[in-house]
Structures are given as structure tokens and as C-alpha cells.
Structure 1
Amino acid sequence: MRRIGRRDIVAAILIALVAGAVVTSPPLQTLQGLSLDILTALRGRLIGDRRDPATSPVVVVAIDGETYDTPPFKGSPTQTWTREIGRVLGSITDGGAKVIGFDVIFKNSIEQSEIPFGDTSFGARLKGFDRDYLIALRQLSDNGKLLLGEILSNDHPDAPYPAQRFAVKNSVRALNVHTDPDDVIRRMPLSFAIDGKPVPTMAVELAARALGGKPEMTPSGASELSGYSIPSAVPNTLTLNFRGMGRDVPTFSFADLRACVEKGDRDFFRRAFDGKVVLLGSILTFDDRKLTSMRLAGGYDGTPGPRCALPAPANAAQKARSEVAGVFVHATVVRNLIERDTVTELGFPARTILTIAFAAVIACAACMLAPSGALTVWFVLTVMYAALAVGAFVHALALPLTEPALASLAALAMMIGYRFVLADRDERFLRKSFAFYLAPEVINTMVASGKMPALGGEMRNVTMFFSDLAGFSSIAETMTPGELVTLMNEYLSAMTDIIESHGGYVDKYIGDSIVAMFGAPADDPAHARNAVHAALKCHEKLAELNANSAAFAGRGLSHRIGLNSGEAVVGNIGSHRRFNYTVMSDTVNVASRLEGANKYYGTAIMASETTMAQTGNSYAWRELDAIRVMGRGEAIKVFEPLAGTGAESAEQAKVATVYAEGLAYWRARDFAKAADAFDGVAKIDPASALFAKRARALSANPPPPDWTPVNTLEGK
């Protein structure tokens, strides 16, 4: 995870502010509406329709396709239906309906037709045709149970025929809707100013009469109905809550109700309409269709109500559609108001703050993580937030959904661009500049801190690794420069790969020598064990190169490796203008001496007692000797690693056993027996041959009484 600095935090905040301000700005206000559409769809699909249409306080009487196909309406102009409409409305009122609203407008009458028909006009011959209809309207209006609808417009207003307006004593209310810039209905107006006074819309007036109250304006400017303060994100509107996706409103075919009147079934009207708000409207597939918040999931033109007299049409099955009949928009308003279930939207300030905060979280994630990780965080958090938003929408609270998602995605993209262009430029420079000189861990520390390396060090317990090619100077004299470079590059590359794969850090190359350490710069509790394993692997690799590499062919190269563990100063050491990440201490000097001591014993790898002790039981060892190296007065015991525990060969085990026996005689001053023991394996073990020679010399000339079994090495 990348560490972020103050500049990154400022950049994340600025990016979040820009992204949040842009997506919540007026030019993109359709995103707010899209959030409502998505929330409506998700709630409908995840939660489902759980509302029983029978509990609906509002029902629809539909002038549908069945009505147009059923006598006496089949083939008849709608202006001739008025008498039957009046009869049906009377039966609905007798059934106990609270109030009836017209979502259809009969703006003319056939009584006014001037079309010639014989000696008089057609209209003159039909004088009095609307009489029964107008009487029915007057009776219903007098009881406060009828509202006619009209469309307010400066250019083409649609209003009921004047005689109808007179009959209902101007109980006419507007059917106008509130359409968003994308032509989708998500909110509905509460009132319109007529002659300078606010007049409630059709749906609001229907709800008010059903509740026995009237809309009022509170001191804060909010609209209130029977104690319910109507939430309003857009002034003088309410946000529609299509909780049942239209299926929670019972719908009765006008043709069936007319037949029910003929049948005289008053009980049916009582069961269907008692205590209900009734809306009369058209639900034809080509007439007055509206796009609403249900457009993504699909809405329904109500649920077919019980039948009274006519059989249900064969094609009565309903399908979800992106558009619904306009009468169901008004029915939704009525139900929302009566049940106090309109949607509450956050205001512009709260919506913007929430959007910016979400974008800031994602921007910070994009600053700390790789692009793929940040994208995963964005997806997970967006899904979690969407689940929260759907849960809130179940309770009619609409949290912004598209704005935070899009703003955070934009912030993610901008932060990635910022990192690539500015923030990570320094990191890429550091990594590229120092990759060939410093350990990856050191570079990571530099990048995380945001600082260039500086002088300083710390005490660490490490294992030092020194290696050198035996007799390489004389071999190099016989090679061309090109051959020498090829051989050294292949050798050093092979050894370095092994060292680094075991957690070691190559400090430096000195000609054909390698200086490395284990346990720094990365912490490694098993540094001694890993160093020994690396030494054994390096020895095996050199044998493989001698056998298979063209550059090594016929050279018979061998190397010596010294290992020592202990405390050392590790860090950036040098001058103020130039320094290296390196190590200093007596631990380093001893490892260097052990590498050289191999030539006295004919061994390839020599380790100190401290290194051997820190490896635990991981390897099979043989103790070589107690030695005193140049520059150090204290004697140290040295050991040779043979192989992993239990992996040593039979010959190695035999040599180790014999050598241990001879070493025991040697330290007991029984030089004759020591010489005999060492002679047993002297032909196959140079170290045993060395001790056999020394034992015979001391057997012939015994040392003084104060002799100690410590070998003081004369050279490096």
C-alpha cells in the first residue's frame, strides 16, 4: 500500500470537490432523476410488490379497450357516452365512494354540433341529450364528491364543456404534470396559481377531500395536508413513490361497471368503492401514456379488479411497460398523500456534500492502492452504498445514487492520472535510478517516506557472506578481456540470483569477490539458516557451471565462502556527497577472515560457531577447528556445513565421524592417535590430511604444557 503525503491529500480533496461539483451541477441534474429511476427499479426487483391492491385507498375506473369493444359503446362516439357515465358515477357514489375525479375531459357536446341534418343542424335535433349527465354532475358536485379535470396552458388549454363546468360549480382542478428535462415524470405539482391564488391540483384536492382537510402552507414554506408535511425537493412539488409499480391500484373496466348497473348489483359497488377515491380515466395503449420513475423496471396499468357482469377478456394478462397510463400517475399521488408515503429527497447541499465525501474516499483509495485495487474498492463500496440506498428507499428516503457513483469513478480516473503524471513520477525516478545500486527494500523505504536516502545506520543482527574465487588472478591472465567479462558476468549473476532468492542483499562486488548480508535491509529472523542454504546452493551452482557452461569449460573454478553472524551497523555509510547502503563491524571482518581460512583446510564453506548455533537443527555440520584470525585475539570455533539435516552422503558422514574422533584426540594431546585417525580419510579430505601432518609433527616434538588447541592463521 502506497503511503500518501500532504500533497496527495490536498489533491484528493480537490479532485473530489471538482468531481462532486460537476456531477451535481444543473447541466447534469438528470442524474438526480436517474437515481430515482434506478432506486425504483432495484426496490421493485429486490424487495418486490408487497402491497395488497384491496387495501388501496384509490381505485381507477378505466375507459379501456374492452369498453370500446363492448356494446353499446362499440362504434359509438365518446360524446354519446355521457348518459351512461352519469349512471355509473351515480352507482359508484351510492356505493360509498368518498370522491370521484375525472382524468378525462369532455370539452365539447354533440348538442352544439352545427353539422346540417335535414332542415336543422344535428345539434339542434339532440337538444337535451346531456341533461341526465349534467344533472348527475350537479348532484355529485353538490355533495362535494366530484372533480372535473382540465389542462392549463397558455397556448392550448383543455377544459370541460362550459355546461359541465357550470353544473359542477367550477369544481375543476388541473391535471397538469411536472416533467423533468428528460421528459420523465418523477414529481407532481401541488398547486397552480389561478387568478393570483394557489389552487390545488386534481390529485391533491382528491386526497384533501378524502382526508377531510385542505392543503395549507406552513411558515417554513412547506405544504401540509391534514398534519402531514409534504417533502418537496423541487418547490411546490411532491416526489412520486411508485412502491407497488402500479399494481397496487385496483382497476375496473367501465364496460363491466355499466353492465353491473344494468344488472342492478348494488352490493358490488359497495364492496368495490366504499370509502375509496375514484379516478375515471383512459388506459388505452395509444392514449395519454407517461414515462415515469418506473421506466427502467416497467410499470403496470393497475391490477384488474373484481368483475361484476361481464366475463374477463381473453387477453387480460398484463405486461410491464416503460410507459403507464396517465391516470395512474394521479392515482399514485392520491395514495402517497393519504398514506403519507411520498419520497423524501435530499436537498442540493446535502446531496452535493454526500457526493463529494464519497468521491473523496475513492480518491484516497486510488492514491494509496494500485489502479486495479482502487477499482475493486470503488466497486465494493458502490455496491454497499447502493444496498444502503435501496434500504433507505424502502422507507421512502431517496439517497443520491448515480451522482456519488459517477463522481467517485471520475475521481478514481483523475487520481490515477494525477499519480501517473505527478505523484508517482518521483517514485518511478527513484526506482529507476537506484534499482541497480540499492536493495529493493531500501528503495521501498525511500518511496514510502518520500525522502531521499541520508547518512545513518542502526544495529542489526545479521549474517555476513563473503565469497572469492580461488586462484582466479592466475586464471584471468590466460583469458582475453571479452572472455573474462563474459565469465564474470555469468558467475556473478548466478551467485547473486541465489543470494537474493534466499533473502540476501549483495552489498558489493570486489573483482571476483562477493560481499553480501542476510537479515538487512529486510528483517529476517532466519537469516543464518538462509545464508547457509544460499552458500550450499552457490557451491552446487559453481559445479554446474564448470560442467555445463562454455565460458567455464576447462577452467575448473572453485570458490571459498565465509559466513559469520552477529551484531553489525547497517545503513547509509559514506560522505555527505556519496554513500552506500552497507555494513560495518567486527562481524564483517571475521566473515572475511573465514573466507580466506578455507584455503588452509581445503574447504569451500566455513562458518563461525554463532552462525552454526543460529541455524538450529537445519543442517549437518562438522567442527573444523578453533582458530585465531589476523586482527583478532579471541579464538573462535569454525564449522563446515555439509548438507541439510539427514541429507548428507555416506562419505560425508564417514569423514565427519572420523574427523571428530581425530579432533578429540588432538585436543586431548594424544597426537599419535589423532594422526592415525586423520590418516584414515586423509586421501579424500584435505582438512584431515592437514591435521594428520600437524599431529605427526607434534607427536615427534610435543608442545609445551601451556599449549592450547588453537590454530593461529598467519595470513588473511
Structure 2
Amino acid sequence: MRRIGRRDIIAAILIALLAGAIFTSPPLQVLQGLSLDILTALRGKIIGDRRDPATSPVVVVAIDGETYDTPPFRGSPTQTWTREIGRVLGSITEGGAKVIGFDVIFPSSIEQSEIPFGDAPLGTRMKGFDRDYLIALRQLSDGGKLVLGEILSNDHSDRPYRAQQLAVKNNVRALNVHTDPDDVIRRMPLSFSIDGKPVPAMAVELAARALGAKPEIGPSGTMELSGYAIPSAVPNTLTLNFRGRGRDVPAYSFADLRACVEKGDRDFFHRAFDGKVVLLGTILNFEDRKLTSMRVSRGYDGSPAPRCAPPAPALTQKARSDVAGVFVHATVVRNLIEHDAVTELGFPARTILTIALAAIIACLACTLAPGGAVIAWFALTAVYTAVAVGAFVHALALPLTEPALASLAALAMMIGYRFVLADRDERFLRKSFALYLAPEVIETMVASGKMPALGGEMRNVTMFFSDLSGFSSIAETMTPGELVTLMNEYLSAMTDIIEGHGGYVDKYIGDSIVAMFGAPADDPAHARNAVHAALKCHEKLADLNANNPAFAGHGLSHRIGLNSGEAVVGNIGSRRRFNYTVMSDTVNVASRLEGANKYYGTAIMASEATVAQSGDTFAWRELDAIRVMGRGESIRVFEPLAEKGAESVAQAKVTAAYAEGLACWRAREFTKAADTFERTAPSDPASASFAKRARALAASPPPPDWTPVNILEGK
């Protein structure tokens, strides 16, 4: 995880502010509506939102395709339907309906027709045709049971013809809708200014009469109805809550109701309409279709209601992106009666929430790798969407598309910022020092944002020194190209093993390798890892000699020295040029042990400190007690054979004989020591060397103050 600096925090804040301001700005106001569409779809998909149509306080009487195909309506103009409409409305009122609203407008009467009919216009012949209908309208209006609809317009209003207006004593309310810039209806007007006075919209008027209350303007400036403060994100509007996607409103076919009147089934009208708000409107596939916030989830033209007379036509109701306009008004009525209109956040709250989520993603994009930041964006968006859907179940609409898109934009901008500016220095550091410093050191530099400087610290480490035996003489027989190929193969193989065990290669000196375990990265098992690496390096060299063409015929061998202890590690050198390296007596001893291998014919030699710190992981052979050049104290040295329990039978036999001979040597029993060492001398160079020394002392015994310490004169 990347460390955040002050500049990064400022950049994240500025990016979040910019992204939030862009995606909540007026030109992108369409995103607010899209959020409602998506929330409606997700709520319907995840939660279900199915409600029993029988519980709906509002029902629709539909002038539908069945009506147009049923006598006496088939083939006749709608102006001639008024008598039948009056009869059906009377039965609905007798059934106990609270109020009836017209979502259909009859702007003219058949009595006004100028179509020639014989020697006089048709209208003259039809005088008195609407009398019964107008009487029915007057009776329903006088009882407060009827409201006619009209369309207000500055250019051409659409109103019921004059006789109807007089019959209902101007109980006419507007059916106008509120359309968003993308031509989608998500909110509905609550009132309209007529002659300088606010007049409730059709749906508000119907709900008010059903509740027995009058709309009022509350102290906050919002409209209140029967104690319900109608939430209005856009002034004087109600945000539609299509909780049932249209299927929660029963739809009665007008043709069926007309047949029910003929049948005289008053009980049906009582069961269907008692206590209900009734809306008369058209449900056709080609007329008065509205795009609403159900356009993504796809809504329904109501739920087919129980029938009274003829059987239902064989029609399959399908979800559509548009719905009949009458269900928009029905939804408003239900939202008002049930106090279930959607509450939207105002512009300040939406902007703050959008900026907050964008800021979170910007900060994550600043600390994580691009792939991780994208995953974090998906995760945060999913969690926030779940919260938004949960809130929408309770009719609270949180912004959805604005925060999602703003945070995505913030993610892209922050990644761009990092690539162009913030990570430029990091890339420079990594590229510049990757071949010279340990990865851990580079990570420390990147995390701190500082260039390396002089300084060190005391650490417990294990030093690893290796050198090829007799390499100078071998190099003389090779061309420069062959030599470079050989060394690159050898050093690469050894380095991979060292680094694979957590070691850090300090430097190469010709054919020699200086490495340390336990720094720069802290490693409590550094001694054990160093021994593992030494054994693997020895095995790898044997494999290279046998299988690599560059090593063919050379029979290379190497010596490795291991020592553990305290050392100063850090950036050491001059103020202008330094290396990450290590210094201490621990380093010097490891170097001497590498050279001491040639006195015993061994490949790996470790100090007693390394043996102690590596635990019981390995099988060891104690070689001797030695005093190396430049050091006054003697140390016991050991040879690692294999992991514990993995040593061969031959190794175990040689180790036992060697231990016996060493004990005799230290007891000054030189002849016995020589005999013991000579038993394994043919197969063990260390035993052969000790046998020779024991014979010499047996022939010329040392003075009484002799100590069993081998003083090495060379490096």
C-alpha cells in the first residue's frame, strides 16, 4: 500500500470536488432522474414490491380496447358514449365511491356536430342527447363526488365543453404533468396558478376529497394534506413512488361495468368501489402513453380487476417501458393517501454525498494499485447501491448515478495524477536503484519519499561469503567472452538461491559473493536461511558442472563461510557516493571462515554462533577450534552436512569417526587420533588433514601449555 503525502491529500480533495461539481451540475441534472429509474428497477427486482391490488385506495375504470370492440361502442364516436358513461358513473357512486375523477376530456358534444344529416346538421337532430348525462354530472358534482379534467396551455387549452363545465359548477382540475428534460415523468405538479390563485391538480383534489381535508401550505413552504407534508425536491411537485410498478392498481374495463349495469348487479359495484377513489381514463396501446421512472424496470397498465358480466378477453398483459397516463394520476393519489411519496435529497445534500464518495475513492486510488482501486470502486459502489435500495424501500431516494459516476471519474483522474505526477518520482527511484539497492531499501525510500542518506543501525545478521577455488588459473585458459558467460551463469544462479532464501547480495568481488541474511528485511530465522542457502548453492554448483555447457571441463568448486552476530548495516560511504552494506567483526570472521575451508578441504564452514542460532534444523560436524588471522580469540567451526535426519549413512559414519579422532586430539592422544582419522581419510579431506597433523605431533609432542587450537596464518 502506497503512503499518502500532503500533496496527494490535496490532489484527492480537489479531484473529488471537481468530480462532484461536474456530476451534480445542472447540465447533468438528467442523472438525478436516472437514479430514480434505476432505484425503481432495483427495488422491484431485489425486493419485489408486490402489493395486493385489493388494498389500493384508488381504482381505474378503463376505456380500453375491449370497450372499443364491444357494442354499443363499436364503430360509434366517443361523443355518443356519454349516456352510458353517466349510467356507469351513477352505479359506481351508488357502490360507495368517495370521488370520481376524469382523465378523459370531452371537448365537444354530439349536439354540436355540424355534420349534415338530411336537411339539417346532425347536432340539430341530436338536441337533448346529453341531457341525462349532464344531469348525472350535476348530481355527482353537487355531492362532491366528481371532478372533471382539463389540460392547461398558453396556446390551446383542452377543456370539457361548456355545458359540462356548467353542470359540474367548474369542478374542473388540471391533468398537466411535469416532464423532465429527458421527456420522462418522475414528478407531478401539486397545484397550478389560475387567475392568480393556487388551484390543486387533479390527483391532489381527488386525494383531498377522499381524505376529507384541504391542501394547505405549511410553515416550511411545502404543501400539506391531512397532516402529511408532501416532500418536494422540485418546488410544488410530488416525486412519484411506483412501488407496485402499476400492478397495485386494479383496472376495471368500462365495457364490463356497462354490462354489469345492464345486469343490475349492485353488489358488484359495492364490492369494487366502496370507499375508493375512481379514475376514468383510457388504456390503449397508441394513446396517452407516458414514460415514467418505471421505464427501466418496465411497468404495467394496472392489474386486471374482477369482472362482473362477460368473460375476460384472452389477452396477455406485458410489461412496457411506457404506461397509460391514468396510472400516473392514480399513483399520485395513492402516494398522497398513503403518505408514500418519494423523498429526494436537495441539491446541497446530493452534492456533499457525491463529493464524499468521490473523495473516498480518490484516497483509495492514491494508496492502492490501479487494479486494487478499481476493485475497491466496484465494492464501494455495490455497498452504496445496497444502502440506496434499502433507503428507497422506505421512499427515500439517495443519489445513485451521480456518486457512482463521480467516484469513477475521481478514480480515473487520480490514476492519471499518479501516473503523471505522484508516481513519477517513485518510478524514477525504482528504476535508478533497482540494480544497486535491496528491494526493501527501495520500498523504504518510496514510502518515506526521501532519497537514501548516510547512516546505519546495529542488527543481528548472518554473513555469507563465497569464493571459487583456483579460479584465477582456470580464467587464464578462457577467452573473455567465455569467462563473462561463465561468471554470469554462476553469479545469477547463486544470487537467485540467496535471494530466494531472504538474503541480500551486498556486492560481487570478482568471483566472490558477499551476502547477508537478516537485513535489510528483518528475519528472525536468518541463520537457518543462510545455512539452507549455502547447502543449495553447493548443490547447484554440482548441477551446473554436470549440465551447463559453460562449465564443461572446468570442474569448478567454491568455498562458503558463514558467521552470525551483531553488525552495523546501512548506507555507508562518502557523502557523495555510498552503498547499502554491512561492517563489523562478524563480517571479517565470515570472510576468514570462507578461506579456512581450504585447510580442511571443506566447501562450507560455519561458526558456532551460526550453529547456535540455526537451532536443531541441520546435522553438523564439528571441524576444529581455530584462530583466524587478525583475531585473538579462538572459535569452534562446523560443517553443515544436511537437514536433520537427511544425512547419508556415509556422512554419519565419517562424522562419528571424526568426532572420535577430534576428542583424542584434544586429549593429546595424537597417535590414537591419527589412527582414527586415517580410517576415513581416503574419502574425507578434513580427516586426512587432521591425520597428518596428528602424526606430526605424535612424532614431536608439543609443550605442556599446548592448546588444541589451529592457528591459521593465511586468509
TM band (smaller chain): over 0.9
Q: Counterpart of 1:681 in 2: which secondary structure?
A: helix
Deviation at 1:669, TM superposition (A): 1.0
Matches within 5 A, 1:310-329: 310-315=310-315, 317-329=316-328
Q: Distance in 2 between matches of 1:413 and 1:234?
A: 32
Deviations 1:594-643 (A, max 9, x none): 01111111111100011111222221110000011111111110001111
Deviation at 1:313, TM superposition (A): 1.1
Q: Distance in 2 between matches of 1:89 and 1:10?
A: 68
Deviation at 1:289, TM superposition (A): 0.5
Q: Which residue of structure 1 aligns with residue 540 of structure 2?
A: 541
Deviations 1:248-285 (A, max 9, x none): 11111111111111111111111111111110000011
Q: Counterpart of 2:682 in 1: which secondary structure?
A: coil
Give the AA of the match of 1:615: S
> Is the counterpart of residue 171 in structure 1 residue 166 in structure 2?
no
Q: Which residue of structure 2 aligns with residue 68 of structure 1?
A: 68
Deviation at 1:715, TM superposition (A): 1.4
Give the AA of the match of 2:548: S
Q: Distance in 1 between matches of 2:686 and 2:93?
A: 120
> Is the counterpart of residue 675 in structure 1 residue 671 in structure 2?
no
Q: Which residue of structure 1 aligns with residue 80 of structure 2?
A: 80
Q: Distance in 1 between matches of 2:299 and 2:542?
A: 80
Matches within 5 A, 1:290-439: 290-315=290-315, 317-439=316-438
Deviation at 1:649, TM superposition (A): 2.3
Q: Distance in 1 between matches of 2:488 and 2:389?
A: 64
Matches within 5 A, 1:477-516: 477-516=476-515
Q: Which residue of structure 2 aligns with residue 446 of structure 1?
A: 445
Q: Which residue of structure 2 aligns with residue 259 of structure 1?
A: 259
Matches within 5 A, 1:235-246: 235-246=235-246
Q: Distance in 2 between matches of 1:319 and 1:555?
A: 86
Q: Which residue of structure 2 aligns with residue 101 of structure 1?
A: 101
Deviations 1:497-516 (A, max 9, x none): 11111111000111111100
Q: Distance in 2 between matches of 1:685 and 1:304?
A: 101
Q: Counterpart of 1:106 in 2: which secondary structure?
A: coil
Moved more, 365-374 or 329-338: 365-374
Q: Which residue of structure 1 aligns with residue 599 of structure 2?
A: 600
Deviations 1:656-702 (A, max 9, x none): 11111100101111111101001111122121111111111211222
> Is the counterpart of residue 639 in structure 1 residue 630 in structure 2?
no
Q: Counterpart of 1:152 in 2: which secondary structure?
A: coil
Q: Counterpart of 1:275 in 2: which secondary structure?
A: coil
Deviation at 1:704, TM superposition (A): 2.1
Matches within 5 A, 1:506-655: 506-655=505-654
Moved more, 669-678 or 109-118: 109-118
Q: Distance in 2 between matches of 1:125 and 1:479?
A: 126
Give the AA of the match of 2:303: T
Give the AA of the match of 1:618: T
Give the AA of the match of 2:529: N
Q: Distance in 2 between matches of 1:284 and 1:126?
A: 29
Q: Counterpart of 1:680 in 2: which secondary structure?
A: helix
Deviation at 1:113, TM superposition (A): 1.4
Q: Distance in 2 between matches of 1:488 and 1:254?
A: 98
Deviation at 1:27, TM superposition (A): 0.8
Q: Distance in 1 between matches of 2:145 and 2:625?
A: 116
Q: Distance in 2 between matches of 1:137 and 1:500?
A: 96
Deviations 1:120-142 (A, max 9, x none): 21111111111001101111111
Q: Which residue of structure 1 aligns with residue 15 of structure 2?
A: 15
Deviation at 1:445, TM superposition (A): 1.1
User: Structure 1 length normalisation: TM-score?
Assistant: 0.98
Deviation at 1:414, TM superposition (A): 1.0
Q: Counterpart of 2:570 in 1: which secondary structure?
A: strand
Q: Distance in 2 between matches of 1:106 and 1:521?
A: 90
Deviations 1:73-125 (A, max 9, x none): 11111100101111111111111111110000000011111222222211111
Deviation at 1:376, TM superposition (A): 0.9
Q: Which residue of structure 2 aligns with residue 162 of structure 1?
A: 162
User: Structure 2 length normalisation: TM-score?
Assistant: 0.99
Q: Which residue of structure 2 aligns with residue 283 of structure 1?
A: 283
Deviation at 1:449, TM superposition (A): 1.2
Give the AA of the match of 1:590: V
Q: Distance in 2 between matches of 1:110 and 1:556?
A: 118
Q: Which residue of structure 1 aligns with residue 271 of structure 2?
A: 271
Deviation at 1:475, TM superposition (A): 2.5
Q: Distance in 1 between matches of 2:711 and 2:231?
A: 96
Q: Which residue of structure 2 aligns with residue 205 of structure 1?
A: 205
Q: Which residue of structure 1 aligns with residue 123 of structure 2?
A: 123
Give the AA of the match of 2:483: L
Give the AA of the match of 1:551: A
Moved more, 188-197 or 537-546: 537-546
Q: Distance in 1 between matches of 2:337 and 2:38?
A: 25
> Is the counterpart of residue 656 in structure 1 residue 655 in structure 2?
yes
Structure 2 gap ranges (5+): none
Deviations 1:207-253 (A, max 9, x none): 01111111111232111111110000001101000001111111111
Q: Distance in 2 between matches of 1:116 and 1:545?
A: 114
Q: Distance in 1 between matches of 2:241 and 2:304?
A: 21
Q: Counterpart of 1:682 in 2: which secondary structure?
A: helix
Q: Which residue of structure 2 aligns with residue 230 of structure 1?
A: 230
Deviations 1:316-338 (A, max 9, x none): x3111111100000000000000
Give the AA of the match of 1:201: A
Change (3 A) 1:113 1:427: same
Moved more, 471-480 or 519-528: 471-480
Give the AA of the match of 2:658: Y
Give the AA of the match of 1:142: D
Q: Distance in 2 between matches of 1:489 and 1:163?
A: 106
Q: Distance in 1 between matches of 2:292 and 2:548?
A: 78
Deviation at 1:450, TM superposition (A): 1.0
Q: Distance in 2 between matches of 1:381 and 1:175?
A: 42
Q: Distance in 2 between matches of 1:246 and 1:475?
A: 92
Deviation at 1:10, TM superposition (A): 1.1
Q: Distance in 2 between matches of 1:469 and 1:120?
A: 127
Q: Which residue of structure 2 aligns with residue 180 of structure 1?
A: 180
Give the AA of the match of 2:628: V
Give the AA of the match of 2:549: A
Give the AA of the match of 2:320: R
| % identical equivalent positions | 86
Q: Distance in 2 between matches of 1:648 and 1:49?
A: 73
Q: Which residue of structure 1 aligns with residue 143 of structure 2?
A: 143
Deviation at 1:650, TM superposition (A): 2.4
Q: Counterpart of 1:683 in 2: which secondary structure?
A: helix
Deviations 1:152-187 (A, max 9, x none): 111221100011001111110000000111111000
Q: Distance in 2 between matches of 1:548 and 1:62?
A: 91
Deviation at 1:550, TM superposition (A): 3.0
Give the AA of the match of 2:317: Q
Q: Which residue of structure 2 aligns with residue 59 of structure 1?
A: 59
Deviations 1:280-315 (A, max 9, x none): 000011110001111111111111111112211122
Deviations 1:544-581 (A, max 9, x none): 22233333232222211100011111111111111110
Moved more, 300-309 or 286-295: 300-309
